[in-house]
Amino acid sequence: MNAPTATEHSRRFARQLAADSGLPFVTIDPAGADPDDYLAVNPLAARLLSEQVCRHFTMLPVSYADGVVTIVCAHVPDAVAQDIAASLTGRRVEFAIAPEPEVQWAIEDTFAAWPSSDPADPADATFTGPAPVTHPGYPTRVGDLLVARGYATDEDVAYGLAEQERTGSRLGDILVSHGVISEADLVAVLAEQFQLPVVDLTDYEPDPAALDLLPEPLTRHLRVVPLAVDQTTLYVAMADVLDDETVASLREHTNLELRGFLASRNAIDLLLQRVHGGEYVAVAKSELLSRFPDESANRVITGAQKAFFIIVLLVLIVCLILWLKTTAIVVMAICSLFYLTTSFYKFWLTYDALGHTYEIDVTPEELDAIDERDLPMYTILVPLYREAAVIPRLVGGIGGLDYPKTKLDVRLLCEEDDDETVPAILAMNLPPHFKLVVVPDAQPKTKPKACNYGLLQADGEYVVIYDAEDRPDPDQLKKVVAAFRKSDSAITCIQAKLNYFNADQNLLTRWFTTEYSMWFDLMLPGLDAQGVPIPLGGTSNHFITDRLIDLAAWDPFNVTEDADLGIRLHKAGYKTAMIDSTTYEEANSDLQNWINQRSRWIKGYIQTWLVHMRNPAKLAGQVGPKSWFSFQMMVGGTFIFLLNPIFWGLTTLFLITQAGWIEELFPPLVFYLAAFQLFIGNFIFMYLNVAGCVQRGYFELAKWALLSPLYWGLMSLAAWKGFIQLFTNPFYWEKTVHGLDSGDHPPAAAPPARPAPASVTAREAA
């Protein structure tokens, strides 16, 4: 229907009315309008009020931008009209005066017939029409509707409104996140409120022609899925009424009118995954390779590196043949010097950290001052593989986070062939902030690839990785947000500390805990203080999402993608900082499992070293000599685990046999270096493990730390396993089995609980 052009008289009248009442004048008829007065009608915003209300008050919502609904009226709205408009839309409203013919026309046009909802038509079987709204004149806000339909009680809504006041989230989302109502319930209520149809996307196959109209990044960004298209109209599934900007974007891309259908966010996510999964996985595994090929570990060593190592090996062999003793002495001397230098450097870092606090300090006052309404969306990526048993604990751990659930975007990343975890998650009927992401089966099947896949769908301004068994400090997310806000803008990653909750399970877990205490409480803060690259920990690294994506996120071919990313961050000019917040993990308590895990770490560190040393001079130019040196000590220092058994073997052999040829390998200066390292260096590191425990308050572990040399023996065993695997199976991911702890872990301090109504707690306990 063509819009009737308002007469000049009516336009003049409306303009005068607007001037007298202090409201703006607009025209919604593009034909006869002054461009300055023209305001286009957003067809989806127009559905924010029911037809009856619109006709009764001769008003129509035409625009929805920045949380404000603009309603055009033919007359100055009285207090009742204003109240009803605000109540029914659930948003801030502003009024404008438009000529009456135009308003009437727009109402007619908006409430013209929608696609058929005839149940007899199988093609339309998935469409459900809106339930009748309440009687006109009664406010029917979301909360009122939920109570009226029996989905929630007044107490529930009051609780939700209180949280809304605190967090700024929407009432429906809050009630869903607390399990008061389901997503389906909310969608039904929103459909009733906005007079929009609902669509079930479970097995829906969108029209490919419709999909082609909108690029995937746009659909992901807007969270809409094109469903069908005809000559004039594009039909889209959406989770909420779209604002003006969104509508404009869609129109610009399609030159079509829009008709929206409500669906839950999760349903839209799953449909997007289903439709674009192949594309996502291609990006996940090849983004870094295509954008930064020199930084990908898809090749263990380059041709140039291969040539270099072969030449070195040949030279060494020739020298050994010609000058056996001298060559051996030189090799011993170089190894001893490297050993000593690494030890000194690490000792200096850790001792310096012992006397200082280098982590970003977020005080309790700063935490209390955080306005939850200003908190951003936070994405939590949790890669899983055959870990159904730990899902409940995982959910509990994330549930304990002191962060508005409506602002969490928890993505459980499962592999397609994981027929254990996926069904378990589906059966748990988790709240909507938990989203199942099924990663299509593709090589390399690694954790970083899964994380990349999940990152593509991340909603959060920040993103963090947690492992399945992780238990972060409840206030960790808020601390990180505060830390990012008060820190240098170059800080792109904040690493929390890791430690173990099952330290006293057995000797292995005690050793592991002493090692981690030293590493995260002393070594990494020491590196942070020096402004050199920090090899990140496996979890609890918090990123600014956009920058992570710019860097092409994690290398799917690197089995210690975290350490590698820490180096790449530094190379890109970004910084990493530490924060004094701990995530507790499960320490490996089984020896074989531990060796597998440690071998992967060492393999990954060697991979990382090889990747970034493809062009040593270029690396030095990128990071500077200090960072270059630190990289050699921290990442290149991994080779020490390979050297250890050789040196210990020689020492033991000499003590037993007093063989002269061993003595000859160590002329005085070399001997002094090696002896110093053996007796002093080793002790210093053992003692620093003690220091790490005491620094952290783990006094009971101090005595076990004294047995560290035995632990180092195990590390060397794992190191050789990893080193060999680097050549035989470089991308193989040694999966760490979780859930081996004793399971008896009493509660620890949780954030102060806000009183919840009985019904909420009852539902959450159900």
Partner 1 sequence: MAISVEQPRRYRPPHSAGTSLDTEEHGPGVAAPRALYTVLIVLVLWILYSLLGYQTTVNAHVVVFDALDRLSRAFLVWHNDPQKLAAVGFSYPPLTTMVLLPSAIVKPIATGLIALPVTSAFFAALTVGMLDRIMARCDMPLMLRAPLVLAFAVNPMWLFYSGNGMSEAVYSAFLAIALYFFISWYVTSEPRFLIGSGLTLAVLVLTRYGFIVWAFLLCILIGVALARRQARKIEIEGSVIAFAAPVIYVLAIWILFNALIVGDPFGWVNGATSTQAVNSAGVNELSQLDFNDVAKRLLQLNVAVFPLAFLVVPGLVVAFVTQRNDMALWLSSFIVIGIVIMGADALINDREGLLTLRDSFPMMITAFVGAGWLYRSFVGARLILWIVTLVILVVGCYTAWMGMKDYPFQSLEQAYTRTLFTGKSQEGTSSRGGYTVGIDPESQMAAYVKQNVSGRDAVLTDNAKTFGVILLSGQPPKYFLRVDKGDKKWKEILNDPWGKVPYIMATNSPTSGDLVTQRYPNAVTGGTPGLTPIFATDRYTMLKVAPTAPASGSSTTGGTSRSGTGGGATSSGANAAGVAPRGTTTTRTTTVTTAP
Least Å from the CB of residue 291 to partner 1: 39
Establish if 749 lies at the interface with partner 1 (CB under 8 A): yes
| Closest distance to partner 1 from the beta carbon of 346 (Å) | 16
* Buried/exposed code over 721-741 (b: 16+ C-beta within 10 A; e: otherwise): bbbebbeeebbebbebebebb
Q: What are phi and psi of 580, to 5 degrees?
A: -85, 75
658 binds partner 1 (CB under 8 A): yes
Which residue, 19 or 646, is less far from partner 1 as judged by CB? 646
Closest CA to 530 of 353, 344, 362, 689: 353
695 binds partner 1 (CB under 8 A): yes
Residue whose CB is less far from partner 1, 92 or 703: 703
The H or E element containing residue 467 is none
Pairing between β-strand 92-97 and β-strand 575-585 as defined by DSSP bridges? unpaired
User: Which member of 140, 379, 406, 582 binds partner 1 (CB under 8 A)?
Assistant: 582
CB of 747 to partner 1, least distance (A): 5
Phi (first) and psi of residue 50, to 5 degrees: -70, 160
Three-class secondary structure of residue 468 per DSSP: coil
Of 727-746, binders to partner 1 (CB under 8 A) are 744-746
Q: Which ranges in 467-506 belong to alpha helices (H)? A: 476-486
The correct pick among 655, 728, 752, 755 for binding partner 1 (CB under 8 A) is 655
Among 100, 521, 555, 561, binds partner 1 (CB under 8 A): 521
Contact 276, 218 (CB under 8 A): no
The only residue of 584, 601, 685, 731 in contact with partner 1, by rule CB under 8 A: 584
Strand partners, 493: 543, 576
Residue 764 interacts with partner 1 (CB under 8 A)?
Answer: yes
Q: Which stretch binds partner 1 (CB under 8 A): 106-114, 153-161, 234-242, 698-706?
A: 698-706
Distances in Å between the Cα of 488 and the Cα atoms of 434, 483, 493, 496, 551 are 32, 9, 11, 17, 19
Q: In the 3-class helix/strand/coil scheme, how is 682-731 assigned residue by residue?
A: HHHHHHHHHHHHHHHCCHHHHHHHCCHHHHHHHHHHHHHHHHHHHHHCCC
**Candidates 377-385, 441-449, 525-533, 699-707 — which segment interacts with partner 1 by CB under 8 A?**
699-707
Which window, 196-204, 207-215, 264-272, 392-400, contacts partner 1 (CB under 8 A)? 392-400
68 versus 669: smaller Cβ distance to partner 1: 669
- Asked if residue 270 binds partner 1 (CB under 8 A), the reply is no
Scanning 312-320, 335-343, 554-562, 701-709 for contacts with partner 1 by CB under 8 A, the matching segment is 701-709
Task: Give the one residue of 672, 727, 729, 758 binding partner 1; rule: CB under 8 A.
Answer: 672
Q: Does 139 bind partner 1 (CB under 8 A)?
A: no
Residue closer to partner 1 by CB (options 654, 720) is 654
How many residues of this chain bind partner 1 (CB under 8 A)?
Answer: 63
- d(Cα 348, Cα 615) in Å, to the nearest integer? 28
Based on the shown chain and the rule CB under 8 A, indicate whether residue 679 belongs to the binding site for partner 1.
yes
Q: Indicate the length of the chain as a whole number.
A: 766
Burial label, 652 (beta-carbon count in 10 A; 0-12, 13-18, 19+): exposed
Contact residue for partner 1 among 221, 750, 754, 758 (CB under 8 A): 750
| Identity of the residue, 227 or 349, whose beta carbon is nearer to partner 1 in the bound complex | 349
**Among 499, 541, 576, 608, contact with partner 1 (rule: CB under 8 A):** 499
For partner 1, the closer CB: 319 or 354: 354
Written as one letter, the residue type at 470 is D
Applying the rule CB under 8 A, the residues between 342 and 381 that interact with partner 1 are 354-355, 357
Query: Quick check: 428 binds partner 1 (CB under 8 A)?
Result: yes
As measured in angstroms, the least distance from the Cβ of 694 to partner 1 is 4
One residue of 265, 407, 542, 696 binding partner 1 per CB under 8 A: 696
Give yes or no for residue 500 binding partner 1 (CB under 8 A): yes
329 contacts partner 1 (rule: CB under 8 A): no
Contact between residue 129 and residue 117 where contact means Cβ atoms under 8 Å apart: yes
- Establish if 668 lies at the interface with partner 1 (CB under 8 A): yes
What DSSP line would sit under 80-119, residue for residue? HHHHHHHHHHTSEEEEEE--HHHHHHHHHHHTSPPSP--T
Nearer CB in complex with partner 1: 187/691? 691
Residues ≥6 apart with Cβ < 8 Å to 356:
525, 529
What is the radius of gyration, based on Cα positions, of the chain?
A: 32
Please list every residue from 285 through 314 that binds partner 1, using CB under 8 A.
none
Q: In sequence order, what DSSP letters do the residues of 262-320 get, joined into one string?
A: E--HHHHHHHHHHHHHHHHHHHHHHHHHHH-GGG-TTSSS-HHHHHHHHHHHHHHHHHH
The verdict on 539 binding partner 1 (CB under 8 A) reads no
Q: Which residues of 126-139 are buried (b: 16+ CB within 10 A; e: fewer)?
A: bbbbbeebeeeeee
For residues 587 and 425, what is the distance between their CA atoms, to the nearest angstrom?
24
* Angle formed by the axes of helices 561-571 and 591-612, nearest 10°: 30
- Contact between 706 and partner 1 by CB under 8 A: the answer reads yes
For 740, the token pair is 């081996």
Which residues form the interface with partner 1 (CB under 8 A)? 354-355, 357, 392-393, 395-397, 399-400, 428-429, 471, 497, 499-504, 513, 521, 580, 582, 584, 654-655, 658, 662-663, 666, 668-669, 671-672, 675, 679, 683, 687, 690-691, 693-703, 706, 744-750, 764-766
